[in-house]
Structure 1
């Protein structure tokens, strides 16, 4: 696994590739991370992340690998990728979409176990009534990501 770190509006952000796909992200610097991507895939994901953080990219195209996780977690992670850029769903709404309306807390656990936050957008899942709760990267990062996406979505809607 190769880690690359980049500066972003949410601080240092590390991304891991396995040669064929993105297999992890981390808020902060991973000790073995390099600042210069040294393969095609790493360069692609760093370019996409920079474009995302600059408000120029609304959908990632890099391949993502998530080899671990229960069937329920995988269903939640798939549902995360379907939440439109600049929009949010509640934990309860996601629970209903994956077929278990009473599993809002389990959705929160699945969000916390998401191995590729930002690229698989767990930050787009909020508490009941739009309340900002829970985020592995901390609520200030969640707010920054949601504000970035909301501003870009609004610009697109009005242009």
Structure 2
């Protein structure tokens, strides 16, 4: 049975779905959908970590996640987790990190199926032409997230 918790972020409502122990998906929604059975400790952890992320204080999430996908998708998502806060890479660079430049389209497809918005940072991947392309939450959110991370990285002096 899926349990859900909705969090109001600066860029819209985010829904967290759980199997009772681990998060199975995180996505943007238009309406609240909370279930009474959602684990209180997990809800507090999510809220604290997202508040800290949006406040510029958290750069790496530590949430119990269990994304569902193919073995290839999971490899891509693991690689996404290595992209540092405030950094961007292209789909081509991501394919090269996976060992084959010809995987660009497959990498893009796996990226688009990422079930863990923000926590697995697919928003940090851009087109080879340095343009923002593809984001399930909408390109305006991708742009917002990248600017947000860059702003806090600059405030801490990490660019110098």
User: Same fold, TM exceeding 0.5?
Assistant: yes
Shift of 1:40: 0.7
TM-score (norm 2): 0.90
Q: Which runs of 5+ in 2 are unaligned?
A: none
Q: Secondary structure at the match of 2:157?
A: helix
The whole-number CA distance in structure 1 between the counterparts of 2:19 and 2:41 is 12
The whole-number CA distance in structure 1 between the counterparts of 2:13 and 2:145 is 14
In structure 1, the residue matched to 2:58 is: 57
| CA deviation vs aligned residue, 1:116-139 (integer Å, no higher than 9, x gap) | 111001000100032101110110
In structure 2, the residue matched to 1:154 is: 154
Find runs of 4+ consecutive structure 1 residues off by over 3 angstroms: 29-32
In structure 2, the residue matched to 1:117 is: 117
In structure 2, the residue matched to 1:4 is: 5
Q: Which runs of 5+ in 1 are unaligned?
A: none
The whole-number CA distance in structure 1 between the counterparts of 2:150 and 2:35 is 31
In structure 1, the residue matched to 2:23 is: 22
Q: Secondary structure at the match of 2:60?
A: coil
Q: Contact 2:13 / 2:31 at 8 angstroms: preserved in 1?
A: no
Quickly say closer, same or farther: Cα 1:31–1:72, change in 2 above 3 A.
same
In structure 1, the residue matched to 2:96 is: 96
In structure 1, the residue matched to 2:142 is: 142
Q: Contact 2:15 / 2:33 at 8 angstroms: preserved in 1?
A: no
Q: Secondary structure at the match of 1:145?
A: helix
The whole-number CA distance in structure 1 between the counterparts of 2:115 and 2:51 is 19
Moved more, 4-13 or 72-81: 4-13
Q: Secondary structure at the match of 1:128?
A: coil
Shift of 1:31: 5.5
The whole-number CA distance in structure 2 between the counterparts of 1:92 and 1:84 is 17
TM-score (norm 1): 0.90
Shift of 1:3: 1.2
The whole-number CA distance in structure 2 between the counterparts of 1:51 and 1:29 is 23
